[in-house]
């Protein structure tokens, strides 16, 4: 909060240094005499020769001001302080004798805002008067406090003076900040947190509830909680809220689209002076937990398989290397066409075994520790193209479409390169000849999408559903290892991967990862 322009109407611009002398004091520092200011603003006794009723009225007004709950400060057109009550002493730390004759801007306005305050004061913005606003005020010890401020103009002897009413709202500000922090914590919760009135009306709704049930807060607040429950639960939940009864149960709930899903439901009463005034309903989506458990199980599976693959792959590769020299001997020594054909068949089998070994090694690499770093998008694309340079068949048109711009991706360069290369080679294998397109594009300020598209034979719905399952393959010579490795790598990056495909039209794989824009 800043010092509000409202103060502008209370005085004219003054010189930069603090004025120590009141303009009506002829150069001498002393409290203003009653003859100089309105009697209602003076601490002197009123003139006894005046009408008793008027004197009594002024005394009564003075007492009201002196004991007001607000700090009351009166200033002249130059901004110099004429009056200063007890609450002003408590609020700002200056006693009355010290404050009288000082300039309100220099005494109460933070230094960074004084020039602006003087400019607005000189303009005399009448529209800013007689309103309560929040501002920042300066205390004697140099600390700054939030205040609620209003300025009221008065006319006296053809002169305009101003009365400032200020109230320290530090406690309210701290309470509001605490409430905002608490609301932010609730909003960041992965569980749906729903505030209920005593009659079961939904009064608050966090983001997790929005994601879980599908309702935006505008569409759900003020409606009965029974919209989220099965009909047979309606009476029971209303009674438990009404009587302040706790509940923990596994049940089903209803999303906006009418679908049912399993939840763990916790109901907790909200009491005031021992009486229930509402409740909070906390819902944990068990279906999401089941998906997480499945993901963790897959990760454990991949880690175990990676360790096995590392050992088996190493030993299997030694066997293949021992066979290959004998194939060379047969091809060099024999002239029998049948033996030459057998040798060629053996060589193809060794090459096939070598490919399987490479894919088994991929499991081992994918399960290794994976420190993430910021990698420039251009660096990632160059790494992918280099990896694929000798692997793309001549009959395949490999097209790269990318305008990565100046941003980075949070990733492990080698493993993400491997994952994308797996998708490109998978697309190549689905084609006899044709085009494979690799595309990178920013899809949000903090997200990038890498897609691999082919126009091959496509996949059935069943194949799409199982395409990332370990050891699943729809091809005769497939191992079912590559795509599952790709998904495992993307999962470890905290990203997502999906596939869309139609038989006879082709397939598109999409990887989405976190991106970081350059600092401004």
Domain range annotation of the chain: 5-168, 174-288, 369-516
pLDDT at 144: 93
pTM of the model: 0.44
Is 174-288 the same fold as 5-168? yes
- Burial of 435 from C-beta contacts in 10 A (0-12 / 13-18 / 19+): middle
**Which CATH architecture is the domain 5-168 placed in?**
2-Layer Sandwich (3.30)
Note whether 64 and 54 are within 8 A (CB): no
Note whether 225 and 278 are within 8 A (CB): no
pLDDT at 472: 67
Fold annotation for 174-288:
Beta-Lactamase (3.30.450)
490-506 confidence digits (pLDDT tens): 888 888 999 999 888 89
What is the 3-class SS of 394-448, one letter each residue?
A: CCEEEEEEECCCCCEEEECHHHHHHHHHHHHHHHHHCCCCEEEEEEEEEEECCEE
Note whether 450 and 437 are within 8 A (CB): no
**Which CATH architecture is the domain 369-516 placed in?**
2-Layer Sandwich (3.30)
Alpha carbon 179 to its chain's center: 17
Residue 341, both tokens = 């054909």
Q: Beta-carbon neighbour count of residue 75 at 10 Å? A: 24
pLDDT greater at residue 248 or residue 50: 248
Nearest to 488 by CA among 497, 500, 478: 497
Note whether 102 and 18 are within 8 A (CB): yes
203-260 confidence digits (pLDDT tens): 999 999 999 999 999 999 999 999 999 888 888 888 899 888 888 888 889 999 999 9
Helices (H), 441-481: 461-466
304-323 burial code (b ≥16 CB/10 A, e <16): ebbeebbebbeebbeebeee
What is the average per-residue pLDDT within 355-367? 60
What is the C-alpha separation between 193 and 434, in angstroms, rounded? 52
CA within 13 Å, CB half, 321: 7
Q: What is the average pLDDT value for the chain, to the nearest integer?
A: 79
DSSP 471: T
DSSP 129: S
């Amino acid at each position: 909060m800043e010092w509000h322009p409202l103060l502008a109407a209370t005085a004219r611009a003054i010189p930069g240094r603090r004025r120590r002398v009141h303009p009506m004091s002829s150069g001498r520092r002393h409290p203003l005499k009653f003859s100089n200011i309105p009697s209602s603003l003076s601490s002197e006794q009123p003139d006894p020769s005046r009408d008793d009723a008027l004197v009594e009225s002024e005394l009564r007004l003075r007492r009201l001001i002196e004991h007001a709950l607000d700090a009351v400060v009166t200033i002249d057109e130059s901004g110099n302080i004429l009056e200063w009550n007890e609450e002003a002493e408590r609020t700002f730390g200056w006693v009355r004798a010290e404050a009288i004759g000082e300039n309100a801007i220099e005494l109460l306005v933070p230094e960074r805002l004084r020039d602006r305050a003087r400019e607005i004061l000189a303009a005399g913005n009448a529209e800013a008067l007689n309103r309560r606003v929040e501002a920042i005020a300066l205390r004697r010890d140099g600390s700054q406090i939030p205040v609620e401020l209003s300025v009221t103009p008065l006319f006296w002897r053809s002169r305009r003076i101003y009365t400032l009413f200020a109230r320290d709202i530090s406690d309210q500000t701290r309470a509001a900040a605490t409430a905002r922090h608490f609301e932010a914590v609730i909003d960041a919760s992965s569980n749906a947190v729903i505030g209920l009135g005593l009659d079961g009306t939904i009064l608050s709704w966090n983001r997790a509830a929005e994601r879980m049930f599908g309702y935006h807060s505008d569409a759900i607040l003020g409606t009965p909680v029974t919209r989220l429950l099965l009909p047979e639960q309606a009476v029971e939940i209303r009674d438990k809220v009404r009587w302040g009864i706790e509940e923990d149960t596994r049940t089903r709930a209803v999303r906006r689209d009418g679908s049912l899903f399993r939840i763990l439901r916790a109901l907790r009463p909200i009491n005031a002076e021992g009486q229930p005034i509402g409740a909070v309903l906390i819902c944990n989506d068990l279906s999401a937990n089941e998906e997480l458990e499945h993901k963790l199980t897959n990760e454990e599976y991949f880690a175990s398989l990676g360790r096995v693959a590392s050992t088996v792959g190493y030993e299997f590769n030694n066997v293949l290397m021992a066979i290959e020299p004998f194939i060379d001997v047969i091809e060099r020594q024999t002239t029998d066409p049948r033996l030459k054909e057998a040798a060629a068949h053996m060589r193809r089998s060794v090459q096939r075994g070598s490919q399987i070994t490479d894919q088994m090694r991929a499991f081992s690499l994918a399960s290794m520790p994976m420190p993430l770093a910021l990698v420039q998008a251009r660096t990632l694309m160059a790494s992918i193209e280099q990896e694929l340079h000798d692997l793309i068949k001549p009959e395949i048109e490999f097209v790269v479409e990318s305008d990565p711009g100046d941003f980075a991706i949070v990733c492990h360069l080698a493993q993400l390169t491997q994952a994308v290369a797996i998708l490109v080679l998978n697309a190549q294998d689905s084609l006899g000849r044709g085009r494979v397109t690799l595309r990178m594009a920013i899809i949000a300020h903090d997200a990038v999408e890498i897609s691999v598209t082919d126009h091959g034979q496509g996949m059935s719905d069943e194949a799409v559903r199982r395409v990332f399952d370990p050891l699943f393959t729809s091809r005769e010579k497939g191992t079912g290892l590559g795509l599952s490795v790709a998904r495992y790598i993307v999962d470890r990056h905290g990203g997502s991967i999906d596939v869309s495909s139609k038989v006879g039209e082709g397939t598109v794989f999409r990887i989405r990862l976190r991106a970081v824009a350059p600092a401004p």
